[in-house]
Structure 1
Amino acid sequence: MVRNDNVVARIFQRQIKTPPPGTSVHCARRFYENLVPSFTIYDVECPDHSFRKFTDDGRYLISFSRNHQDLVVYRPTWLSYSYKQEDCHLPSRAKRFDSFFNQLYCVSLASSNEVICKDFFLYVDSYQFGLFATSTAQIHDAPAIGGAIQGVPSIERITFHLLRLEDGLILDEKVFRNDFINLAHNMGVFLYDDLLAIVSLRYQTIHILQIRESGNFVDVRAIGAFCREDDELFLNSSTQCMAVPDKSKLHQSSGNHVDNGVHSTHPNSDNSFLSCIKQRLLSFIFRRIWSEETDKIQVGYLVFQFHVMLRPQDNL
């Protein structure tokens, strides 16, 4: 069984763990197994950086330059000074930042018109990769074209950088153009093991990517207009049936087959179909109302409100 090195977990285990037979203690005491800091140093001379956080394993300290163009990574040196209880006088060097941290490297991530999102950082523990994001300025009055949602801001360029923290090598990049992803405090991006989910608010799409051990992004699936591989085929076939209801009109419309959406890659936005992800969410809400609510009058009212929500003029 793997031992947990967390101090709180160790204390809890010590309280509940039974000792081995014939002994009065549960385990042999180890000399200086845990060292707890007991002194605080104030007014430390720190570099002019914006410090983000430590990695989960505590090996790296992530910081950004003040102009939000460069990534600066430090390695803690940990135990640097000690003192006796009756004499807490430390040398002047103890108030210097470089007495406790060593700078590993400084990497330029952002271009001239981009800045690093200082509130975004994800750590891939299995491969010791760091995921950072840079973006251009928001455009609040951007036109909603190409299936975009009206009223959602647009960012001309959003770039995700996959970096190896050991030496600062940029392994891969993923770029989103004219999109909007909420990067503040990692709200629009979720990491589970080696799978990365990126939520596009402007196009109502969830992009699923896989982070390979070699340090590459691999597109797995995009959940939005289509959820499964055959959704596009089904919607296009339905659009074709509505566009050409009679075989006698097929030859008449052969000259303008691009305009009527017969061979269009995406389903016509003017038809009655919702995007697949919206359809699934609405179906989940309806089935939950139908199965969990016991009062039939309340069910009828909620179903009525549900159908009111589906009016074409409403923005889902």
Structure 2
Amino acid sequence: MSDEWKEPAADKTEEKSWKLLEKAVLAGVQEQRRARRWGIFFKLLTFIYLFVALVMLSPAFDLQKSAARGQEHTALVEIRGMIADEEAASADNIVTSLRAAFEDPKTRGVVLRINSPGGSPVQSGYVYDEIRRLREAHKDIKVYAVIADLGASGAYYIASAADEIYADKASLVGSIGVTAASFGFVDAMGKLGVERRVYTSGEHKAFLDPFQPQKQEETEFWQNVLNTTHQQFIESVKKGRGDRLKVDGHPELFSGLVWSGEQALQLGLVDKLGNTSFVAREVIGAKEIVDYTVQESPFDRFSKKFGASVAERLALWMGFQGPSLR
């Protein structure tokens, strides 16, 4: 009788083992299918990327751009994002684009299409000086700055070098000022019982160290540096805008405030309201627009953004941000 009961129990155990084995095999097959699908997806993605890159580098693509440049046209140079070294809107990239636009015999006029919060005063100053030099060397080609969403601080610094500035009625324009940000961790370190040790050669070498108390004379010195940079900014804007700038009665003009395009028009910060196509068609008289902006590869853009992001995080962690026209 015991043998009769053992046989069904053994059969059930064997059946469970087969079911477990079957599930394991099915799971393995499903995992292989999933891995195969992802493999196909990434291969397809790589193929699309290479195909697009080949098209952009192909002679046919260059011929298409050359054909557009074969007739009189409006030259476009984009200033987008942060104005800083190693960024898309670096002085090197902008200046290279501007020189190419001015040197093309078919260029009727140049449009600087701006959508930027500003950035480095040095980079902005380089571009400002180059625009004025190119205008002097090519008196028959005028430069028009067209502000899209934002043309503030260093971006407006650059725009003020143009012959005329256009904006949308809702654009944000101005922010003629200088800023430098930092943090102070002295009290926090005292509460944590952490001692800061800095060894320098030079009395004020570590005057921007956020882990040490501020000294009155060093704070005043740094403020004078910012004031000097601000004054350079103001003088450049005045030189570029001339009598169009409504300075009298508007002391807030250089205070760092921003205005809408409609308000900026009343203050003389911009000349007229209009967009890029309007300027090309109605002002320059060449509706064909050719983009001369230096284009970076997607890989370069990713690398620079990653590097800039790491550097920015380190700067914030250290608690210091240098002078900026933002």
Q: Which has the higher helix share?
A: 2
Answer 1 or 2: higher relative contact order, Cα 8 Å, separation at least 6.
2
Relative to the length of structure 1, the TM-score reads: 0.23
Bigger Cα Rg: 2
Q: Which has the higher strand share?
A: 1
